[in-house]
């Protein structure tokens, strides 16, 4: 009779006896009872067919036919079918993470093309191979500014995404960095000023006005910018620019992975976290790609390491690369203009109905003032509309993209009470 178990009971006992134990429970005898899990309540095993049926049953509970007006760092955009088709081709498959991308010229070239596109959109000199997400990109940018300036105080605009601020504060606490949201404290002791434009509430900021307040030459300016908006809005002149990759070719995916870009001026490239792929020629004079900068302690002397960021969101960056290639600058501008146009159209309809906006200077997200946020959103949800993110009892953050139809916008305005 064939034994389908990984180990027989005799083999288990033989291994236990070799270390002087009688049962598997004795392996964990030194652990306090309070931290041990009781038996897992997961039921008995199922066949593959039964598991498939159960998963389909659970998936059917997801409401996927709702009109979506959610934003705040993750928004629903149209993704051409070819993006997933190309990025999932076998040439990009690997038995090992692109953590060691130097073994694959194809992976290196895709990262190099990604970096080039990011530099073109941000008007920055250098881009790394991508970051885990926007929150960590912001936090790493702050750490970079502290290293460059030798100062331990940073100013973060209070209108930056709260999630990004939370991660920045976590990084800062461990590194003894002082974080303040009061931009009036700009002075010679400040390492950097970080702002988001369009910010978490959708408002577009005049970065030049802020730069005029930064009188000390060493104080760095970090801007967190929506990648798609950079196709129609002039990229701000700053030292470091970071932003979300999710809107550019990556689905919402129940929360991730999303990835982020990180770009800076040339003079800061050796202080940039992560890694940079460069283009060169091999011994035969043929074009070749290689990891040019790797500033992790694994690759350089520990005291010169910039961070423990060693890898990148390779698949997310690849999907963004394919998306930007397919869309082109003209297509990306069309996405941006449609999103802005539809957002202002919905905002106008809501204003005509008696609602107030927190700001009229926005890209594709805006804050709507309502009498009761819970009742407002619940009323829309009853009509299969995800109306936005509750900010507080009387404010809702609404996001509109090119994927929202005129009918959805009209329904939102009609059912908004």
Of 11, 293, 282, nearest to 126 by C-alpha is: 293
- At 17-27, the pLDDT tens digits run 999 999 988 98
Domain ranges for the chain: 9-53, 67-79+329-415, 82-323
Check if the beta carbon of residue 231 is closer than 8 Å to that of residue 97: no
Residue 1 has what pLDDT? 45
Alpha helices in 280-356 (DSSP H): 314-352
**Cα–Cα distance between 352 and 257 in angstroms, integer?**
39
Range with the poorest average pLDDT among 186-195, 281-290, 294-303, 337-346: 294-303
Of 364, 360, 376, nearest to 404 by C-alpha is: 364
Residue 261 has what pLDDT? 97
User: Residue 410: is its pLDDT beyond 60?
Assistant: yes
Residue with tokens 């802005």: 340
Percent of the chain with pLDDT over 90: 75
- At 137-153, the pLDDT tens digits run 999 999 999 999 999 99
User: Residue 312: is its pLDDT beyond 80?
Assistant: no
Q: What are phi and psi of 406, to 5 degrees?
A: -60, -35
Strand partners, 279: 289
Across the range 76-86, mean pLDDT stands at: 95
**Cα–Cα distance between 179 and 145 in angstroms, integer?**
13
- At 5-43, the pLDDT tens digits run 678 889 999 999 999 999 988 988 889 988 887 777 888
CATH topology of domain 67-79+329-415: 3.90.1150
Residue 362 has what pLDDT? 97
CATH code for the part of the protein at 82-323: 3.40.640.10
Alpha helices in 37-89 (DSSP H): 48-59, 81-87
Average pLDDT, the chain: 91
pLDDT tier, 99 (very low <50, low <70, confident <90, very high otherwise) = low
Say if residue 195 is preceded by a cis peptide, omega within 30 of 0.
no
């Amino acid at each position: 009779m064939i034994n389908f178990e990984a180990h027989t009971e005799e083999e288990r006992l033989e291994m236990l006896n070799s270390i002087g134990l009688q049962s598997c429970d004795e392996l964990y005898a030194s652990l306090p009872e309070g931290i041990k899990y009781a038996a897992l309540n997961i039921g008995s095993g199922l066949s593959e067919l039964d598991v498939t049926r159960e998963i389909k049953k659970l998936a059917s509970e997801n409401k996927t036919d709702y009109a979506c007006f959610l934003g705040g760092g993750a928004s629903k955009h149209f993704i051409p079918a070819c993006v997933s088709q190309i990025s999932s081709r076998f040439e990009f498959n690997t038995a090992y993470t692109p953590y060691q991308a130097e073994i694959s010229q194809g992976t290196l070239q895709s990262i190099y093309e990604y970096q080039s596109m990011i530099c073109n959109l941000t008007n920055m000199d250098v881009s790394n191979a991508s970051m885990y997400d926007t929150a960590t990109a912001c936090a790493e940018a702050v750490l970079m500014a502290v290293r460059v300036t030798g100062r331990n105080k940073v100013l973060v605009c209070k209108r930056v995404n709260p999630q990004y601020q939370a991660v920045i504060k976590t990084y800062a606490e461990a590194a003894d960095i002082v974080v303040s949201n009061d931009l009036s404290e700009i002075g010679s002791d400040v390492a950097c000023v970080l702002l988001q434009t369009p910010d978490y509430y959708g408002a577009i900021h005049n970065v030049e006005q802020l730069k005029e307040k930064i009188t000390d030459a060493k104080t760095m300016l970090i801007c967190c910018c929506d990648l798609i908006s950079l196709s129609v809005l002039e990229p701000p002149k700053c030292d470091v620019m970071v932003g979300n990759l999710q809107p550019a070719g990556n689905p919402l995916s129940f929360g991730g992975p999303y990835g982020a870009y990180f770009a800076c001026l040339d003079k800061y490239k050796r202080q940039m976290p992560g890694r940079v792929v460069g283009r060169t020629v091999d011994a035969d004079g043929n074009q070749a790609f290689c990891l040019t900068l790797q500033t992790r302690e694994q690759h350089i002397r520990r005291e010169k390491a910039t961070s423990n960021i060693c890898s990148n969101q390779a698949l997310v960056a690849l999907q963004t690369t394919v998306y930007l290639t397919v869309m082109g600058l003209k297509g990306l501008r069309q996405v941006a203009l449609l999103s802005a146009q539809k957002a202002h159209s919905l905002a106008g309809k809501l204003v005509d109905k008696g609602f107030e906006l927190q700001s009229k200077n926005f890209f594709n997200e805006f804050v709507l003032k309502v009498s009761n946020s819970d009742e407002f959103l619940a009323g829309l949800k009853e009509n299969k509309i995800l109306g936005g993110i509750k900010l507080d009892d009387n404010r809702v953050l609404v996001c509109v993209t090119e994927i929202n139809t005129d009918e959805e916008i009209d329904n939102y305005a009609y059912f908004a009470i």
